[in-house]
Structure 1
């Protein structure tokens, strides 16, 4: 028996297996990076959307998808553990396609937001795809596939601005919305045809509906209050009521998780110090970096209007050209981190990445008025961003078992989403303190952009300060993978 297990497969079988693995990696890479690509396209298109619909609530164009994605994420990852990861991937992708279609044909801003909200369910595909990677690949493919999937964010960062620039300049924001719908449809086809079902499941059980509603409702109330706080007043009874209600819902959620038989996020997993410290540090650092696009894209794409707007007024194509060196550094940081993760303590890589991002954006707080200054800021911050986004999912593999992988990835994505939503909302609030409304559209002055960047710098720095809390984890090469169970 041992000889049968260790014998080398025939060359033809090995070649077929390699080709099949490559197809699966491509399908999962498309699925994961489409989440990042849609976020990038949304950020670049938001200025045109705000001007077209004459809205001061453009923050919700990007935040609506984050909010609904965060709300449905716990249900999706739990369903993946109970019913099969591929099945849930297909359901989430199908709903995402429906939402993209609604947004693409919307004739008013409210309908557009409804479509974006439905499309946000697609965000649940990323943690499930990472979990499938660990489940279905042999050991020698797990690190490579995870590194490629994480490093793909650099390709998105490099190609996304050029794609968005072409779509915006030639077809307007409608072209961006239709591209999202077509890409989601392609994702559905790739998963259906190329990705096998995971052999690792939760072994039965049931959905914790009460826990999910408490968690989603608490987070939704918190985010909505932060977004509307400047209009309501930070000391108003309405704002305080939402904050207190959110806190009560989240506390009750924690109590429920201790008592239900099938919790969304098992306390036995989340109470372990390696797990909760990794979740906390990566969520704050990576989530804050995901929010920086809110500031930078508005800075470079909003028009320059004396006393009203200090945007640089670049076209989509010009933005793509200027940001290409930055995107290249994200690729270098992400791919290099994926390679180093098998050799270097992940905590060191996370700390260095966060520090580089802090230095880069700190420089940009005052030097962001020319293409050269944007590139200087981005080269340093881009390297750090690539390192942080690549090491975050790898650190989860190092601290949980294959059976816990989907839930842990879900918890990390949830944390990233919450951090990104809160920092993004705060960035809009901070920038609006130094801005003006013209013809129903919110514009921002230079001090607003400066303060928005300082907000991101402070949040990423806080994430870096959390890294020493993490105990020494296993190296990626030592982690247990699904097919080894």
Structure 2
């Protein structure tokens, strides 16, 4: 029996959603530590192999808000199956890729799976009892950071024991199972946004996003003053206001500019931009710092890929614990307080790395603080966004928030790469001050995120077309007594 015939228990739905989000987040980070292995395995060069990351970034940035919006309009369950199916297909192609070109195409297909995030948040809002929504949102949002951390931990052991191909075989199995479970067990959306999909504004949004992210991600290797990078920045600067103008005047906008101007939405999005700069940059450069050979450079720990991942395991555990606790904390203290605390703890943990990084125990403590911060902040941002927008815009609002965080990560990574590599030792390693200066920039962005978080107004959307069930008891009543007529609303 399809889930559309009878409302599936929300706990089963949650398991399926978590598998999907976890698989997507794993694919974001597992490939990064083994790029050199992929480069050797496919006989390519360093400049080309970075497109394995860039293609995924560009595809996910474009597809995340678009898939979320399409889900708002035609049904979140069917789009969830599509997003998970894309992850599975892309993972299969990546696992069997005979050349770097095929692998890059496969990674672009995987990027479509970015739509899993906004669809997950929308389904939780549609299907869960109201008192369970904050905790479910917090846990699923924290899984994005947890998956990123786990990817760094398991990449080395998987490659050492098997091969880099298994970095794609394993997620393929998970996402294929999740897609089948979503088809059979996740209920179809009871809420639909009216209107058509505006292809013109979707094209405009894709153009400025790709131009901006391509310039940022390739600026370090192509040269910030190169004609290609300058031209891409100019293109993004020209198309962005045109896109905003077109969306504001559209009868059926892809991204509702009125929604984007809601005070809670734009302030939380600004926090996401600043927070993304710190979190994703830390994922990228802290393992590199740990892997730097101390006997050669005088800093670092000479850790292998596997060892550096294990050293960051406490951070991942802390993120997961914070995500699990986020629901109760949000009820007791409010999501805004959690967001402020998450941003402030990020700044504190990063300050610790700047001033004390000579011993393993110091970095274990500091990265654990960062893990708690990531879990709290991810959960808070998701809850604040979902609470502030109408139910029919949950997917697109969540998608744009995730997208803005990704843009922040791309900008932060590019800036840090430039700062860290500004001074090189004769042996080719960055000087220690490059890392300390780069991490100090993240202290600044995290502190700014905390300041903006203090200014976030707490509000709940008053234009929800249909209220969801308020308690678990109400949900059970809706499943039973009103099954013949669908969900009671």
CA deviation after TM superposition for structure 1 residue 233, in Å? 4.1
Counterpart residue number, 1:92: 83
Counterpart residue number, 1:249: 239
Q: Quote the Cα distance in structure 2 between the aligned partners of 1:474 and 1:404.
A: 13
| 1:97-143 deviation digits (Å, cap 9, x = unpaired) | 22222222224333322221221111111111111110122323323
CA deviation after TM superposition for structure 1 residue 35, in Å? 2.1
- Number of equivalences: 462
Counterpart residue number, 1:468: 454
Counterpart residue number, 1:223: 213
Q: Quote the Cα distance in structure 2 between the aligned partners of 1:94 and 1:303.
A: 41
CA deviation after TM superposition for structure 1 residue 153, in Å? 4.8
Task: Report the CA distance shift for 1:369/1:191 in structure 2 as closer, same or farther (over 3 A).
Answer: farther
Task: Report the CA distance shift for 1:122/1:259 in structure 2 as closer, same or farther (over 3 A).
Answer: same
Task: Report the CA distance shift for 1:154/1:106 in structure 2 as closer, same or farther (over 3 A).
Answer: closer
Q: Is the 8 A contact 1:281 1:467 kept in 2?
A: yes
Q: Is the 8 A contact 1:295 1:453 kept in 2?
A: no
Counterpart residue number, 2:158: 167
Structure 2 alignment gaps of length 5 or more: 1-5, 471-488
Q: Quote the Cα distance in structure 2 between the aligned partners of 1:50 and 1:454.
A: 32
1:453 aligns with 2:443: no
1:299 aligns with 2:289: yes
Q: Is the 8 A contact 1:217 1:249 kept in 2?
A: yes
Counterpart residue number, 2:21: 32
Task: Report the CA distance shift for 1:339/1:118 in structure 2 as closer, same or farther (over 3 A).
Answer: same
Q: Is the 8 A contact 2:272 2:408 kept in 1?
A: no
Q: Quote the Cα distance in structure 1 between the aligned partners of 2:441 and 2:180.
A: 40
Task: Report the CA distance shift for 1:159/1:414 in structure 2 as closer, same or farther (over 3 A).
Answer: closer
Counterpart residue number, 1:267: 257
- Aligned runs of 1:30-429 on 2, under 5 Å? 30-49=19-38, 53-56=44-47, 59-153=50-144, 156=147, 159-203=150-194, 205-286=195-276, 288-301=278-291, 306=296, 312-429=301-418
Q: Is the 8 A contact 1:169 1:316 kept in 2?
A: no
Name the SS for the 2:164 alignment partner. helix
Greater mean deviation of Cα atoms: 81-90 or 40-49? 40-49
Q: Is the 8 A contact 1:43 1:62 kept in 2?
A: yes
Q: Quote the Cα distance in structure 1 between the aligned partners of 2:116 and 2:361.
A: 37
| 1:212-255 deviation digits (Å, cap 9, x = unpaired) | 11111111111222233345543444433221211111010000
CA deviation after TM superposition for structure 1 residue 262, in Å? 0.6
| 1:138-179 deviation digits (Å, cap 9, x = unpaired) | 323323422332344575467545533431221232222322
Q: Is the 8 A contact 2:205 2:243 kept in 1?
A: yes
Task: Report the CA distance shift for 1:314/1:176 in structure 2 as closer, same or farther (over 3 A).
Answer: farther
Counterpart residue number, 1:6: none
Task: Report the CA distance shift for 1:354/1:217 in structure 2 as closer, same or farther (over 3 A).
Answer: same
Q: Quote the Cα distance in structure 2 between the aligned partners of 1:51 and 1:301.
A: 19
Task: Report the CA distance shift for 1:414/1:317 in structure 2 as closer, same or farther (over 3 A).
Answer: closer
Q: Is the 8 A contact 1:335 1:390 kept in 2?
A: no
Q: Quote the Cα distance in structure 1 between the aligned partners of 2:336 and 2:357.
A: 31
* TM norm structure 1: 0.85
Q: Quote the Cα distance in structure 1 between the aligned partners of 2:344 and 2:101.
A: 40
Task: Report the CA distance shift for 1:400/1:57 in structure 2 as closer, same or farther (over 3 A).
Answer: same
Q: Is the 8 A contact 1:434 1:444 kept in 2?
A: yes
Q: Quote the Cα distance in structure 2 between the aligned partners of 1:30 and 1:111.
A: 26
| 1:250-309 deviation digits (Å, cap 9, x = unpaired) | 0100000111111011122122222222222234224531332111223334667947x9
